[in-house]
Amino acid sequence: MGKRYHDRVALIETGEDGARLRIDLVESAQKTIDISYYTFTGGRFTNVMLSLLLAKADEGVHVRILCDGLTSLVYERKELKDALRAFETHPNIEVKYYEKFSLLTPWSWQKRLHDKIIITDGKLALIGGRNIGDKYFIQEEYLQRFVNDRDALVYHQGEGESVIGDMQHYYDQMWGYKHTKVRKKGITARQRERAEPTFAWLRALSTKVRADHPELFQPIDWKERTYDAEAIEFVHNPLGRHKKDPWCLMALLEMASQAESSIFVQSPYIIPTRSMRSLIRSYDIDMELVTVLTNSKRSSPNPIAVAGYYNHRKAIVDRVNKVYEYQGPDSIHSKSYLFDDSVSIIGTFNLDSRSSYINTESMLIIHSKEFASDLDHEIQAYVDNSVLVRDDYTYAGQAEDKRPFWLFSKLVGLFEYYL
């Protein structure tokens, strides 16, 4: 477990609030903006974020953007790719890629950066499950494809140590990691010339957004919007290409072993592999305290992951107190854990092998009854749109999805370590 700090914290639940918060983080920065994300996908909100980052860099703020080296290839649209490449030519922006994809290093293909972090000026820090993409922020446009998620914001006021310092240290470790690299060494005159139309487009977009939506740029009083937490800890997985020590999983299990009245687990994917089950058994956890919320076959946008879950579904139902499966029509992507209505965990950690042993992952352990009360309230809204799985593995009060799944699940089970 990490060192505990006394900071202020806020739960950011809706996509609209998540978008508004990210705009404020960028707008309020005076010196530095550090961003690390698993995926950036093109779209309206992404373009706005890029335009605002450029505007701050033009003002002299130092911006660092850390992307995953594989998903950046898969998800980048042309305008996003053009923007990131243009950013490489800006004197106040740096762009790096964690474990850049290479056909010559197949042993590194699975080693992915899964963090979602923004840190500004060492005073504000954001962590959670949202990637940068419209489906996490614009619900009215995406409807059934909308992804419900949540973030935690840390606000540090005044002097003294802060958990943001630990988050900053981790970011700097990832930035300086030997397999984190720039896309291309050296900037040519041709690259600078090609960047100008992209810069012009983004600067025009920034001007237009400010003129059309001045309400998005009203400063937020974070002292008033945040709770004074008793303690906050930052936990992350180690870096490296070897099988990782499961620091995040162990921290989660340590908190579960201390719980006396309740343990709530919300994860979009729950795939407890053999090594995870062995580790779980080594902790003294009362499974009768555990309630689980995860996606159903109907709601999950990831059929491979939900197939992996179905291989363990009966065993999970047998061991814990209650299992709820979200019914959509959208999906849940939050990774949240709540203990005794007083300690919360928010971050990127899914309850699966990939998050335990392969990916970079990070999370905050927040000791605050007020924050936990907010989290419990928001979780209940998803429970109300879920169904309880009965002891015979059928749904209570609703017919279960009968689509054939067993063969697909068995095939997926052969490589569940990588799900």
Strands 151-155 and 124-128: antiparallel
Q: Quick one: pLDDT at residue 186?
A: 84
For residue 397 the two structure tokens come to 């009060």
Of 194, 224, 254, the domain-final residue: 224
Residues 241 and 376 in one domain: yes
Tell me if 31 is assigned to some domain.
yes
DSSP-derived letter for residue 184 is S
CATH number of the domain within which 217 lies: 3.30.870.10
Residues 351 and 218 in one domain: no
Put residue 143 in one of left, alpha, beta given phi > 0 → left and psi -120 to 50 → alpha.
left
Q: Quick one: pLDDT at residue 404?
A: 64
Residues 172 and 284 in one domain: no
Of 171, 193, 224, the domain-final residue: 224
Q: Quick one: pLDDT at residue 3?
A: 83
Q: Quick one: pLDDT at residue 77?
A: 73
Residues 147 and 264 in one domain: no
Q: Quick one: pLDDT at residue 76?
A: 66
Residues 172 and 154 in one domain: yes
Residues 212 and 306 in one domain: no
What is the C-alpha to C-alpha distance for residues 95 and 216, in angstroms, rounded to an integer?
Answer: 26
Tell me if 216 is assigned to some domain.
yes
What is the C-alpha to C-alpha distance for residues 350 and 336, in angstroms, rounded to an integer?
Answer: 9
How many domains, the chain?
2
Buried b (16+ CB within 10 A) or exposed e, 36-71: bbbbbbbbebbbbbbbbbbbbbbeebebbbbbbbbb
Range of the domain at 345: 233-418
Q: Which helix (H) or strand (E) holds 96?
A: strand 93-98
Tell me if 2 is assigned to some domain.
no
Residues 205 and 241 in one domain: no
Query: At a CB cut-off of 8 Å and minimum separation 6, what does 41 contact?
Result: 75, 76, 77, 80, 131, 132, 133, 134, 135
Residues 203 and 350 in one domain: no
Residues 166 and 33 in one domain: yes
Q: Quick one: pLDDT at residue 98?
A: 96
Q: Quick one: pLDDT at residue 75?
A: 63
pLDDT digits (tens), the chain, 419 positions: 668 888 999 999 999 999 999 999 999 999 999 999 999 887 899 999 999 999 999 999 999 999 999 987 766 677 888 999 999 999 999 999 999 988 889 988 899 999 999 999 999 999 999 999 999 999 888 877 899 999 999 999 877 899 999 999 999 999 999 999 999 888 888 999 999 999 999 999 999 999 999 999 999 999 999 999 999 999 999 999 988 899 999 999 999 999 999 999 999 999 999 999 999 999 999 999 999 999 999 999 999 999 999 999 999 999 999 999 999 889 999 999 999 999 999 999 999 999 999 999 999 999 999 999 999 999 999 999 999 999 999 998 776 666 667 777 888 888 888 88
What is the C-alpha to C-alpha distance for residues 200 and 241, in angstroms, rounded to an integer?
Answer: 40
Residues 96 and 242 in one domain: no
Tell me if 395 is assigned to some domain.
yes
Q: Quick one: pLDDT at residue 114?
A: 96
Q: Which amino acid belongs to residue 49? A: M
Tell me if 1 is assigned to some domain.
no
Residues 175 and 276 in one domain: no
Of 224, 255, 282, the domain-final residue: 224
What is the C-alpha to C-alpha distance for residues 362 and 118, in angstroms, rounded to an integer?
Answer: 12
Q: Quick one: pLDDT at residue 410?
A: 81
Residues 260 and 365 in one domain: yes
